[in-house]
Structure 1
Amino acid sequence: MPVPLSLFGVRVRSDGRTGRAAWRVLSQEHPVLVWLLVGYCACLVLLAVAPDGAL
């Protein structure tokens, strides 16, 4: 089950499904991985919206 990470976010594909269906399958099979990916995306959002030098 590939989970490519990039500077722009995460793309998940599982059991031939993408999007929300893949997140659902992934969260049932690997809940810790999903929480780590959610944290990664939250950090990306914080970096994107933080004013210069705020972080």
Structure 2
Amino acid sequence: MTAQIKNIIDQLETYIKKAEETGDKYDFIDPAYEVIDELEKIENNVTQLNPYSNC
């Protein structure tokens, strides 16, 4: 997993925690769209997320 992918996962976890704290699902949904757009730009993004991709 690259540092860029790790950063995206960390961002999503932060948004999840904020939504849980506020009770507002849009505290996750709205910023997650931007993060997902970033993820889609990464070449081989699915294989980088799969921990068994190197097997």
TM-score range with shorter-chain normalisation?
Answer: 0.3 to 0.5
TM, length-normalised to structure 2: 0.39
Q: Which has the higher strand share?
A: 1
Q: Which has the higher helix share?
A: 2
Higher relative contact order (CA 8 A, sep 6+): 2
TM, length-normalised to structure 1: 0.39
